[in-house]
Amino acid sequence: MKIIPRKKYLSQIEPFIKKEIIKVLVGQRRTGKSYLLKYLAKEFLESEPNSNIIFIDKELYQFDFINDDASLYDYIVKNLTETFNYIFIDEIQDIKNFEKVLRDLNKRENVDIYITGSNAKLFSSELATHLSGRYIEIKVNPLSFTEFLIFHNLPNNDDSLMKYLRFGGMPYLKNLALEEEIVFSYLKDIFNTVLLKDIIARYSLRNVDFLFKLSEYLAENTGNLISANRISEYLKSQRIKIPVNTVVNYLSLLVSTYLVEKVKRINIKGKKIFEVNEKYYFEDIGLRNSLIGFRAQDISKIIENAVFAHLIFLGYDVKIGALGDREIDFVAQKKNKTVYVQVSYLLSDEKTIEREFGNLLAINDNYEKIIVSMDKISFDNYKGINHYTLINFLTDFE
């Protein structure tokens, strides 16, 4: 099995190898967390042939008996050796009280621990409560556009960009023909698995049909302001009665599995976070398209989602900006850097240009301001605002 190394994540893990810190890889199912573990195990064994590798993959039936802290502890302790031990546990959230075992093992001098999980709600509570200060969390995203080109051995051109916007960045797609029927069938299977296994079964949800309808609603309304009240009112118009608190709960469960990200709005002047009307974006554009199809009329939404996903991939904290009655698509912050981003399909007429540049010019500070569009060539810098074509943004912006 050939594993293509994803250098971004390996560089994040490297400083913590053989340190008394549990390495936690989190993210949506099928984003390549398991392959990262396998790659690390292979590298460690090649560089240290005498080391001991313990690899538990909870998606394999052979490890089905490991379902709680007692069975996990018993298996690992029986397989520990006096040499250095690397412990890998894939999809650890399926093991009850796993944190008790990790806390014990992490104190041993000849043990280094790596785990993955695809449930943010579980991780944020269990890890923070029981392993505070003892772990480093690394978010594994779908492939960036640059990684997509590498995985599929494609040139950096407009045709490849459209493939990325249509099919997204799930790593396994490199093994499939990039044809809509084949890819969307695979992506729908991923989506159904997440909903059925990670949400419906785990939380014993009754209204299965509503969860699927809610997912499609988010796909239809990618990048639109959304509130639980608005969804509830919409459902009433369709003669479907769902309480607001149920909508809130189901939305939070979709977010917890990393299928979608909730993006809050911030008042640019007062820096206040608004408590209502968020936007939701999909972590993988292909998954979004598999739900409702890749449609020409959605291209603006798809571009906006692609820009959002790239900012997240780069490690930015992203919010929607509000400035009076103006909206800034994204306010992205990372360390001491802030950048304002406007996204437009095409800067094809004066009205569009005035609106997009005008929104950014209304912000009275010196942080970086950029516009991203599908235009073929970049506009010249205008009053400090840079213009990126989408393909250049996805390959060059950092």
What are the pLDDT digits (tens) for 36-49?
999 999 999 999 99
Task: Summarize the confidence of residues 280-288 as an average pLDDT.
Answer: 98
The pLDDT of residue 225 is 94
Residue 136's Cβ-side half-sphere holds a number of Cα atoms within 13 Å equal to 16
How would you class 296 by CB atoms within 10 Å of its CB: exposed for 0-12, middle for 13-18, buried for 19 or more?
exposed
The pLDDT of residue 131 is 82
Taking Cα atoms as reference points, which of 173, 178, 126 lies closest to residue 31?
Answer: 173
Alpha carbon distance 148, 356 (integer Å) = 29
Taken in order 185, 188, 190, 193, the sign of the CA dihedral is negative
Q: What is the CA radius of gyration of the chain?
A: 22
* Cβ-based neighbour number of residue 267 at 10 Å: 13
Pick the residue with more confidence: 275 or 362? 362
> pLDDT tens, 300-342?
999 999 999 999 999 999 999 999 899 999 999 999 899 999 9
Residue 289 has pLDDT above 90, yes or no: yes
Same domain assignment for residues 104 and 134? yes
Same domain assignment for residues 194 and 118? no
Residue 350 covered by a domain: yes
Domain encompassing residue 306: 145-396
Asked which of 82, 105, 139 is the last residue of a domain, the reply is 139
Asked which of 139, 164, 198 is the last residue of a domain, the reply is 139
Same domain assignment for residues 182 and 218? yes
Residue 230 covered by a domain: yes
The pLDDT of residue 125 is 67
Q: State the first-to-last Cα distance of the chain, in angstroms, to the nearest integer.
A: 32
Task: Summarize the confidence of residues 222-237 as an average pLDDT.
Answer: 90
Same domain assignment for residues 115 and 154? no
Q: What percent of the chain has pLDDT over 70?
A: 98
Residue 1 has pLDDT above 80, yes or no: no
Work out the angle at residue 48's Cα, subtended by the Cα atoms of residues 47 and 54, and round it to the nearest 5 degrees.
115
Q: pLDDT band at 218, cuts 50/70/90?
A: very high
Task: Summarize the confidence of residues 349-378 as an average pLDDT.
Answer: 92
Same domain assignment for residues 60 and 156? no
Same domain assignment for residues 128 and 218? no
Same domain assignment for residues 135 and 194? no
Q: Are 150 and 4 in contact (CB under 8 A)?
A: yes
Pick the residue with more confidence: 133 or 190? 190
Largest CA distance in the chain: 71
Taking Cα atoms as reference points, which of 26, 83, 95 lies closest to residue 57?
Answer: 95
Q: Are 332 and 344 in contact (CB under 8 A)?
A: no
Q: Are 393 and 307 in contact (CB under 8 A)?
A: yes
Q: What percent of the chain has pLDDT over 90?
A: 82
The pLDDT of residue 132 is 80
Residue 129 has pLDDT above 80, yes or no: no
Q: pLDDT band at 254, cuts 50/70/90?
A: very high
Same domain assignment for residues 159 and 131? no
Residue 213 covered by a domain: yes
Averaged confidence pLDDT in the chain: 93
Q: pLDDT band at 348, cuts 50/70/90?
A: confident
pTM of this structure:
0.94
Residue 349 has pLDDT above 90, yes or no: no
Asked which of 139, 164, 183 is the last residue of a domain, the reply is 139
Same domain assignment for residues 61 and 192? no
Residue 92 covered by a domain: yes
Residue 13 has pLDDT above 90, yes or no: yes
Tokens 């976070």 locate to 273
Same domain assignment for residues 191 and 286? yes
Question: Tell me, what CATH number does 18's domain have?
Answer: 3.40.50.300
The pLDDT of residue 22 is 95
Q: pLDDT band at 7, cuts 50/70/90?
A: very high
Residue 142 has pLDDT above 90, yes or no: yes
Residue 195 covered by a domain: yes
The pLDDT of residue 290 is 98
338 three-state secondary structure: strand
The pLDDT of residue 161 is 98
Question: Six-digit token pair at 230?
Answer: 């608005």
Same domain assignment for residues 190 and 213? yes
Residue 1 covered by a domain: no
Residue 256 covered by a domain: yes
Alpha carbon distance 303, 300 (integer Å) = 5
The pLDDT of residue 120 is 81
Number of domains making up the chain? 2
> pLDDT tens, 50-105?
999 999 999 899 999 999 999 999 999 999 999 999 999 999 988 999 999 999 99
Alpha carbon distance 199, 254 (integer Å) = 8
Same domain assignment for residues 285 and 257? yes
Residue 2 covered by a domain: no
> pLDDT tens, 156-214?
999 999 999 999 999 999 999 999 999 999 999 999 999 998 999 989 998 999 999 99
Task: Summarize the confidence of residues 238-256 as an average pLDDT.
Answer: 91
Residue 379 has pLDDT above 70, yes or no: yes
